[in-house]
Amino acid sequence: MKYFLHDTNAFQDEKISELYMAFGYEGLGLFYTTLERLAAQEKPIKTVVLKKQLDVGRRLEKCWTFMESIGLLCTKNGETLSVRMLSYVETYEEKRKKDAERKSQQRDKQGVPKNVRKESRGSHNAKGKVNKDKVNKDNTNDADASSVPDLFEQFYDTYDKKVDRKKCQAKWGKLKPEDHKAILEHVPLYIKEHPDVNYRKNPLSYLNGAVWLDPIKPSSRPTEKEMVY
């Protein structure tokens, strides 16, 4: 538990008031610091360890004993806990879960099936029933559209020359599915013939020039025999 909330009118609580009357702000400081330690652990802490951490010496021992006597703190089997804090945490968690469930239910009531386009919601026949053929067609189109970015990422990563990404993606979106397939089959062969990325066309030039339709040409990179030392 990273933080522990308490009511803004906690000072009006009878036991808190008793603590303040007996030990002033020093008592309140010890009490809320103790709560922070307990909240951080979210479980009871050994009393001797807790007192050591809080530097509870002789001067504060009376305050500690007083808090136990009025029920602000509880010590059992050598461990200290705050029953009120644990009760609050349980109430807070229960309220948080109920709020999450309520919001989820509201979203479900207002939501639309993921695979149905907006226009398909208004597609009804003469009897007021949803046109199933229209919905199924839209579902298919959505599935095809959702796969396009994945195929582009496959092309862009395989080509491995990271330039003009946005322009490449825009060009990719204008190509036909059969072109996507042909490109993904051609690129590994093209890379094999041009292993040095510096001798590959930029990916945008590759797409604009429909290079996948051209026969594979050997790389123009000079071989070791051709190189002059």
Q: In this predicted model, what pLDDT tens digit does every residue of 183-224 receive, in sequence order?
A: 999 999 999 988 998 989 999 999 999 999 988 765 555 554
> What tokens appear for 182 in the block?
């042909």
Q: Are residues 156 and 87 part of one domain?
A: no
Residue 209 domain boundaries: 138-213
Q: Could you count the other beta carbons within 10 Å of the beta carbon of residue 77? A: 7
At 75 the three-state DSSP class reads strand
Q: Are residues 1 and 106 in the same domain?
A: yes
- The answer to whether the Cα torsion of 199, 204, 208, 210 is positive or negative is positive
- pLDDT class for 98, splitting at 50, 70, 90? confident
Averaged pLDDT score across all residues of the chain = 76
The answer to whether residues 176 and 77 belong to one domain is no
Residue 3 shares a structural domain with residue 78: yes
DSSP letter assigned to residue 130? B
pLDDT per residue as tens digits for the range 36-95: 888 777 778 899 998 898 988 888 999 999 998 988 888 888 899 876 655 555 555 676
Indicate whether 228 belongs to any domain.
no
pLDDT at 122 over 50: no
Give the pLDDT confidence score for residue 92 in this predicted structure.
55
User: Domain count of the chain?
Assistant: 2
Does 77 map to a domain? Answer: yes
Residue 126, in any domain of the structure = no
Would the pTM count as exceeding 0.75?
A: no
State whether residue 116 is helix, strand or coil: coil
Domain shared by 102 and 155, yes or no: no
Residues 106 and 173 in one domain: no
3-state secondary structure of 3: coil
Same domain, 97 and 170: no
pLDDT at residue 142 in the model? 47
Looking at the fold, whether 83 and 20 belong to one and the same domain comes out as: yes
Q: Are both 149 and 194 inside the same structural domain?
A: yes
Q: Which residues contact 192 (CB under 8 A, 6 or more apart)?
A: none
